[in-house]
Amino acid sequence: MSHNGRRIALTLVLALASQLLGCRQLGLGVKYFLTPCAGNGPERNADFDLKLPPLDLDAFYAELRGLQANFEFEELGRIRYQGRDDPQYWIRRPAPEGAPRMLIVAGVHGDERAALLAIPRLLAELADESPTRERASSPSWDLSVLVPANPVGAAHTSRYNGTGCDLNRDFGSFANPEARAVRNVVERLDPDLVIAPHEGPQDGFFLIATADADPELARRAVAAVAAAGIPLARKSFLGLGLGSPGLSLEGPTIAAGKRALGLGSLGTYMESLGVGTFTTESSWDSEDFEARIDSHVIAIRAVLDSAPPGVSSGTGD
Ligand SMILES: [Zn+2]
C-alpha cells in the first residue's frame, strides 16, 4: 500500500474509533495529524483558544525588507488569495566556505504568531552585531530563513493555507505552492540542519529533535531558554510526559513510525534526506507574548553560537 493509502486507511480506522468512543483527543489526533486538508480555506482554529500577539503583516514584511542591507534577499514567489498578493522570502547570511548551513522555516502555521515574530527580532539582533574579522574567521553557520512559509495563513490567522491545507502534511506530495517553495530552497541550499518554529497548546517551551539531529545541540538550546527564565513544558502537545522538561528526542522508532504513516511533515521530509530538524514550540496559551517570541530567538541563537557539529570549538571569539 502506498503512503497515501496507508494514511487514508489509518484515518478511517481512527475516525471510526473516535466516533464510537466519542473521544475528543482521538478526533483531534485524526484532524491534526492525519488530515492534510482539514480546513475550508484559511479558517481560524475553533478547537483551541490561541492567545494572539499583535501582528501587522504589512509592517512585518516592511521590517524584513528593511534588513536587506545586512542580508542576501530573494523573493521566492508570491501567493495570491482574496485580493492579497503576499511574498515568500529567502533571507540569507552566508558564512565562509565550508560552514554548515542552517535553514529556518518560519510560519508554516499562520496563526502561530510568536514563531513568525521571532524572525525579524532574530535578524535585527544579528544585523546589529557587525561581524569582526576574528568572528568571521571563527566557526559559524551559514544562516537562511524562509519566511513566511504560509502567507495566507498569516494574513487570515489560520493554521491552513488558502485551500484549507496544513502545509506540514504536504512535504511528501508537495501539492501546494508554499510547500514547493520550501523544497526549492532545500534543494538549492542543501541544509545541514533545519529549524522550524511553531506553537502549540503545551504548558511551556519545548524542542523536538528528529533522529538525525544532534541531541547535544538540542540540549544546549533548551538550556539557554531555561536560563532566560522561560518555563519549559513538562508534557508535549499530545499530553505525553517529556523525559526531560522542554526536550523531546525522537528515536529511530518514532522516525520509522512517521515514515510508515506518510506524515508529510517537514521533519519527515528532511529525515528522508538524512538532515535533522529542530522544531521549537512555544505555548500559544501563554499571555507572555515577549517570552513566547524570545524563546525561539534564544533557542536559535544558542545553536548559532555553538560550534557546529564536526567543527572543533576554537579559542573563543
Ligand atoms: Zn505549528
Q: How does residue 137 score in pLDDT terms, banded at 50, 70 and 90?
A: very low
Q: Identity (one letter) of the amino acid at 128?
A: D
- Calculate how far, in angstroms, residue 30's C-alpha sits from the geometric centre of ligand 1: 16
What pLDDT sits at residue 156? 98
Between CA 167 and CA 244 the distance in angstroms is 29
Residue 166 C-alpha to ligand 1 middle, in angstroms? Answer: 9
For 146-187, how does the pLDDT look when each residue is reduced to its tens digit (9 = 90+)?
999 999 999 999 999 999 999 999 999 999 999 999 999 999
Which residue, chain included where needed, has cell 506530495?
Answer: 173
Tell me the mean pLDDT in the region 89-99: 92
**Read out DSSP for 203-225?**
SSBEEEE-TTS-HHHHHHHHHHH
* Residue 168 grid coordinates: 506540514
Q: Which residue has the cell 508534557?
A: 235
The pLDDT confidence band at residue 140, using thresholds 50, 70 and 90, is confident
Q: How far is the CA of 109 from the centre of ligand 1 (A)?
A: 5
C-alpha cell at 156: 487570515
Position 296, amino acid? H
Rounded distance from Cα 135 to ligand 1 centre (Å): 34
| Ligand 1 center from residue 199 Cα (angstroms) | 5
- For 40, 109, 298, the CA distances from 238, given in Å and listed in that order, are 24, 17, 24
Distance CA 282, CA 204 (A): 6
Instruction: Convert the pLDDT of each residue in 235-258 to its tens digit.
Output: 887 778 888 999 999 988 888 888
DSSP 32-93: III-TT-SSSS---SSS--------HHHHHHHHHTTTTTSEEEEEEEEEETTEEEEEEEEEE
Q: How far is CA 78 from the centre of its chain?
A: 20
Residue 25, C-alpha cell as written in the block: 483527543
Q: pLDDT band at residue 122, thresholds of 50, 70 and 90?
A: very high
- What's the whole-number mean pLDDT along residues 195-202? 96
Mean pLDDT for 123-130 is 87
C-alpha cell at 260: 510508515
State pLDDT tens for residues 20-31.
555 677 778 888
Buried b (16+ CB within 10 A) or exposed e, 213-228: bbeebbbebbebbbee
Which distant-in-sequence residues (6+ apart) come within 8 Å of 217 by Cβ?
193, 209, 278, 303, 306, 309
Ligand 1 centroid, distance to 129 Cα (angstroms): 30
β-pair type (193-200, 142-147): unpaired
Record the cell numbers describing residue 292, joined without a space: 513566547
> What's the burial of 145, exposed, middle or buried (CB within 10 Å: 0-12/13-18/19+)?
buried
pLDDT of residue 57: 97
pLDDT at position 75 over 80: yes
Q: How far, in Å, is the centroid of ligand 1 from the Cα of 200?
A: 7
Q: What is the mean pLDDT of residues 113-127?
A: 97
Q: Which residues contact 181 (CB under 8 A, 6 or more apart)?
A: 76, 77, 88, 146, 149
Amino acid code (one letter) for 112:
E
Q: Name which of 280, 96, 290, 128 is nearest 195 in CA terms.
A: 280
pLDDT classification of 72: cutoffs 50, 70, 90: very high
37 CA → ligand 1 middle, Å: 14
Quick one: residue 270, left, alpha or beta (phi over 0 = left, psi -120 to 50 = alpha)? alpha
133 CA distance to ligand 1 centroid (A)? 38
CA of residue 138 to ligand 1 center, whole Å: 34
Burial classification of residue 119, based on how many CB atoms lie within 10 Å of its CB (0-12 exposed, 13-18 middle, 19 or more buried): buried
Most confident of 3-12, 70-79, 232-241: 70-79
Ranges 9-23, 71-85, 127-141, most confident: 71-85
Least confidently predicted of 36-40, 57-61, 64-68, 168-172: 36-40
pLDDT of residue 94: 86
* Residue 125 CB coordination number (10 Å): 11
Question: What are the grid coordinates assigned to 51, written together?
Answer: 492567545
Q: Which single residue is written with the C-alpha cell 531558554?
A: 225
93: alpha, beta or left, given left = phi > 0 and alpha = psi -120 to 50? beta
Q: How confident is the model at residue 97 (pLDDT cuts 50, 70, 90)?
A: confident
Q: What separation in Å is there between the alpha carbon of 296 and the centre of ligand 1?
A: 13
DSSP code at position 206 = E
